[in-house]
């Protein structure tokens, strides 16, 4: 109803619902109204067809044509998977794109194909340089994944901020306060008000200068390298004033380059056991492997359903009304 092809809509909806299933509600279906408002404002092209140019047998660049980041990243990761099957490694740079939601879904595309991956993207300014109070760095996630045997696949996906910016948007939608230490207001003071944090304030990097350094790395590999916006020039997914011009960087590695795939998976299983069976500190009931909590949450939600608050249901129903389709009923 908003000009997105059926095949592209499937890619986008799969990634959004997967985020909800994994417990990352901040990157799930609650994002849909912001994407559609950008389409209506004419700053996101719903029918864009990503253009892939092969640079070398193992390197390609995708011009996303200001379309959905989900669609460009989907094409990019699958091209890289096929190239890595032949050459062992492949990388794709994506330019002039948009938000692609939760990075973990892209890593999962690779692990399902028995491939390792690294997924980078840049984003609109949300973090200060270390010691500053001005938003100059993106809250840009770094993600990677690797297949395993009997144990859960390794999928690590985190933003360089104390928390993902979507959690502050979620608190704002739900009328909730945020904890101290998440963000600063426009005067550079700690705040628990999501409006102050998202307005003239700024989020805080995790680990001090380490998180700020990771944010610079994401901008270098995703924005500078691709030819997209960088250095604070990316437009956020909730901003309807202009095109986003996001850049992505995808790397796929064939894990059985130096040993058989079976041996690699066995070694990943050993790594899993060494982590989860290690000695627990006082007060810890269980140690989890990166991505394992999300897999447990997914199994629970596939059985019991995805919890949503009334404000999120209302927002989706409003989109349904605009699209001329039946509303969902809140329960």
CB 64 within 8 A of CB 95: yes
For the entire predicted model, the pTM comes to: 0.92
Distance between CA atoms of residues 111 and 153, nearest Å: 7
Over residues 148-186, the pLDDT tens digits come to 999 999 999 999 988 877 788 888 888 899 998 899 998
Residue 38 φ/ψ, nearest 5 degrees: -70, -35
Distance between CA atoms of residues 176 and 187, nearest Å: 21
Average pLDDT, the chain: 94
Measuring CA to CA, which residue among 174, 205, 185 is closest to residue 310? 174
CB 244 within 8 A of CB 105: no
CB 123 within 8 A of CB 236: yes
In the predicted structure, residue 229 carries a pLDDT above the cut 90 = yes
Three-state SS at 96: strand
In the predicted structure, residue 135 carries a pLDDT above the cut 90 = no
- Length of the chain, in residues: 331
In this structure, of 67-81, 89-103, 145-159, 160-174, the range with the lowest mean pLDDT score is 160-174
Query: What pLDDT does residue 188 have?
Result: 87
Query: What pLDDT does residue 133 have?
Result: 84
Structure confidence at residue 65 as a pLDDT band (50, 70, 90):
very high
Query: What pLDDT does residue 163 have?
Result: 82
Structure confidence at residue 208 as a pLDDT band (50, 70, 90):
confident
In the predicted structure, residue 328 carries a pLDDT above the cut 80 = no
User: Cα–Cα distances in Å, from 192 out to 124, 165, 172, 181, 236?
Assistant: 21, 14, 11, 8, 22
Pairing of strands 142-146, 116-121: antiparallel
């Amino acid at each position: 109803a908003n000009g997105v092809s059926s095949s592209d809509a499937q890619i986008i909806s799969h990634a959004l619902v997967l985020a909800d299933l994994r417990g990352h509600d901040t990157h799930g279906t609650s994002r849909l109204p912001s994407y559609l408002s950008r389409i209506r404002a004419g700053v996101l092209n719903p029918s864009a067809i990503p253009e892939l140019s092969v640079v070398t047998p193992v390197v390609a660049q995708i011009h996303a044509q200001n379309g959905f980041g989900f669609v460009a990243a989907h094409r990019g990761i699958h091209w890289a998977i096929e190239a890595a099957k032949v050459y062992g490694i492949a990388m794709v740079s994506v330019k002039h794109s948009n938000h692609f939601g939760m990075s973990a879904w892209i890593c999962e595309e690779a692990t399902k194909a028995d491939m390792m991956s690294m997924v980078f993207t840049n984003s609109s300014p949300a973090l200060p340089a270390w010691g500053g109070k001005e938003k100059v760095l993106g809250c840009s996630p770094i993600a990677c994944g690797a297949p395993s045997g009997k144990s859960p696949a390794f999928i690590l996906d985190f933003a360089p901020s104390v928390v993902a910016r979507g959690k502050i948007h979620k608190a704002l939608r739900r009328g909730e306060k945020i904890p101290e230490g998440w963000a600063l207001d426009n005067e550079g003071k700690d705040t628990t008000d999501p409006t102050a944090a998202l307005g003239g304030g700024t989020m805080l990097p995790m680990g001090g200068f380490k998180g700020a350094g990771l944010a610079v790395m994401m901008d270098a590999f995703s924005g500078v390298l691709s030819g997209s916006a960088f250095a604070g020039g990316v437009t956020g997914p909730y901003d309807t004033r202009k095109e986003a011009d996001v850049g992505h960087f995808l790397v796929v590695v064939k894990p059985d380059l130096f040993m058989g795939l079976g041996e690699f998976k066995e070694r990943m299983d050993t790594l899993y056991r060494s982590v989860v069976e290690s000695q627990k500190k006082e007060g810890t009931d269980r140690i989890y492997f990166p991505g394992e909590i999300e897999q447990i949450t997914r199994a629970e939600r596939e059985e019991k359903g995805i919890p949503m608050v009334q404000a999120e249901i209302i927002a989706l129903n409003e989109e349904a009304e605009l699209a001329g389709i039946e509303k969902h009923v809140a329960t």
